[in-house]
Amino acid sequence: MGQEINLLSQHPKTVRDYDARAREKTPEIVKIAKQFGKDFFDGDRRCGYGGYRYDGRWKPVVKRLKDFYNLSETAAILDIGCGKGFMLHDFKELMPQATVAGIDVSTYAIEHAMPSVKPFLKIASAEKLPYADKSFDLVISINSIHNLPLERLKTALREIQRVCRGSSYITVDAWRNETERENLLKWVLTAETMMHVDDWVKMFREVGYTGDYFWFIAD
């Protein structure tokens, strides 16, 4: 199995008011968020991002991923849960000869993707990746596959294994103590699978996931 490593440490950290989110969160807001439409990406902050716009914040993360995994200039990279393609845009800027691909369940996100990468994006689920075996040198999924229920998430991890010929890196909602668990439950809108970090690792072993991983921690 791979290693626990934070390759997103250079991404700006958001200040979160967990109690305020808990007060605002209603079943209706959760329902809206899980549709992954305009309201989730570009609507009220209570329903999701509150405006999902490119600002270059992923550039240092993309550079670190390239260096850490020693990607060639012609590497093939897949982003699962790519949204509007911000990370793939940055990969393409950094590595113009790279092959990039992205999938997302959100029709809205794909339709409003960055023009530079929109031709390379597809509406699809991580459970059934529309790519051949061993197609990619790097497969990434940042805060995405935990939106699937557990058994479907296991299928997604096996799919990542199938299409990957090199390295993979995922981040998922998790906790290490009771405070982090309580904060996470207050904050999340879309996650279906959340676990203690030790339980995630056990599950990775169970399904044969061999890539690297880290956590979204509500600390």
Question: Residue 87 maps to which CATH number?
Answer: 3.40.50.150
**Environment class of residue 147 by beta-carbon count within 10 Å: exposed (0-12), middle (13-18) or buried (19+)?**
buried
Please report whether residue 180 resides in a domain: yes
Model pLDDT, residue 86:
98
Containing 210, the helix (H) or strand (E) segment is none
Q: What is the pLDDT of residues 12-69, one digit of tens each?
A: 777 889 998 999 999 999 999 999 999 999 999 999 999 999 999 999 999 999 999 9
Give the chain's residues under pLDDT 50.
none
User: What is residue 79's predicted lDDT score, i.e. its pLDDT?
Assistant: 98
Q: What is the pLDDT of residue 152?
A: 97
Helix, strand, coil percent values for the chain (each to nearest 5): 40, 20, 40
Residue 200 contacts residue 174 (beta carbons within 8 Å): yes
Whether residue 4 is contained in a domain is answered as no
The SS3 of residue 80 is strand
Q: Is residue 45 situated within a structural domain?
A: yes
Q: Given this model, what pLDDT does residue 75 score?
A: 98
Domain-located, residue 118: yes
The pLDDT assigned to 219 comes to 87
Q: Which domain holds residue 198?
A: 18-212
99 bridge partner residues: 76
Structural domain count, the chain: 1
Q: What is the pTM of this model?
A: 0.95
